[in-house]
Copies of this chain bind each other. A is one copy, B any other.
Amino acid sequence: MVQPQLSLHVLAGIPLVEPGDNLIDLLVQSLELTGLSLQPGDVLVIAQKIISKSENRYAYLDEVEPSSEAVMLAIECDKDPRQMELVLRESRCVLRRRQGVVIVEHRNGYVHANAGIDKSNIQSDEQRPRVLLLPEQPDNSAKRLREGLQTRTGIAPHIIINDSAGRAWRNGTLGFALGTAGFEAVENRIGEPDLFGRELEITEVAVADELAAAASFLMGQAAEAAPVVLIRGAHLRASEQGSESLIRDPAKDMFR
C-alpha cells in the first residue's frame, strides 16, 4: 500500500462531553483507543461544540432578559428574543437581517449566522431550554490543549478548533478554523510569475481553513459523533500567532 501524503483519522470513543470535563484526558484516551500516538507535526482538529461544552458555554434562555434591540431583531427575523439577546451580546454588529436569518460579526471577528449559537443547542430531554455559545476565546482554548497535550505526551500537536458555516456566493456550509495554536494559519507562499513574467506574486493561503474543511468533511460523514480528527502529513509552519490572521480587516472587506 502506497503511503498517502496526508491522512485523516477520526478519533474513536469520545464520549458526550459535559461541563468541566478534562479534554486532555479524553483526547489521550481516545488516541490510545484509536491506536494512534501523537507524532511531531500532527494536527488535531477539534469540533467547537466539545470545547464549548467542556467550558460550560451553555446559556439558559429563562435567565436571559432581552433588550429592546433584541426584541426588535426577533420581530424582524421571526426568532426568539432571548436567543437574539444572546446573539447581540456575542457580536460586534449585525451585518444582515431578514426573515429567519441574522448574520453578525462575532466579537472575535468571524462572520457567522446567529453568532454561531443556534446550531448546537438544547438536548430534547432538557427541562430548561438552553443554547450553546461558541468558546469564549478559541485561540486560548487551542493553546491550552496544545500545552496540555505536550505535558502529557511529550508532543505538542498543532490544534485547530473548527466550526462550519455558510458563506457568500456559494451554497452549502463549509468547515473553517475558529481558533488555532502552533502554526501559521495563513501562509505566504510564493506564487507564479505575474502577467509579464517579471515578478513573483505572493499568495496568501488559508491553510488552517483548508484543513478545517477537510476534517469537517469527515466529521459530517461519520455515522456516530466524530468531534476530533487527527491529520498527519501536513507540513505546517510553526508560529505562536493564533488565528487572527484569518480575519479580514472589515475596512478592507469589499463584501460587507
The interface of chain A, by Cβ under 8 A from chain B, is 2, 4-10, 34-36, 80, 83, 96, 98, 101, 103, 110-111, 118-124, 126, 129, 131, 164, 167-176, 185-187, 189, 191-197, 201, 203-207, 209-211, 213-214, 216-218, 220-222, 232-235, 245-248, 253-256
Contact A218 B6 (CB under 8 A): yes
Nearest CB of B to A65, in Å:
18
Contact A189 B9 (CB under 8 A): no
| Interface hub of A196, A204, A206, A235 (most chain B Cβ within 10 A) | A206
| 5 A-B contact pairs sorted by A residue (CB < 8 Å) | A110-B169, A129-B196, A168-B253, A205-B217, A210-B216
Please, which residue of chain B has its CB at the minimum distance from the CB of A211?
Answer: B217
Contact B195 A6 (CB under 8 A): no
Number of copies of this kind of chain in the complex: 2
Contact B254 A98 (CB under 8 A): yes
Q: Contacts A193-B121, A254-B96; is A8 near B5 (CB within 8 Å)?
A: yes
Contact A195 B131 (CB under 8 A): yes
Nearest CB of B to A247, in Å:
7
Nearest CB of B to A72, in Å:
19
Please, which residue of chain B has its CB at the minimum distance from the CB of A254?
Answer: B96
Contact B191 A2 (CB under 8 A): no
Contacts of A256 in B (CB 8 A): 168-169, 255
Contact A220 B205 (CB under 8 A): yes
Q: Complex formed: what's the CA distance from A187 to B214 in Å?
A: 15
Nearest CB of B to A118, in Å:
6
Contact A10 B2 (CB under 8 A): no
Q: Complex formed: what's the CA distance from A44 to B6 in Å?
A: 15
Contact B110 A205 (CB under 8 A): no
Contact A170 B255 (CB under 8 A): no
Contacts of A98 in B (CB 8 A): 254
Contact A8 B2 (CB under 8 A): no
Contact B122 A196 (CB under 8 A): yes
Contacts of A232 in B (CB 8 A): 4
Apart from A5-B8, A119-B192, A214-B217, 15 more pairs, CB < 8 Å: A6-B8, A96-B255, A101-B254, A103-B254, A111-B169, A121-B194, A124-B193, A169-B248, A169-B255, A171-B206, A172-B187, A173-B204, A173-B205, A209-B213, A210-B213
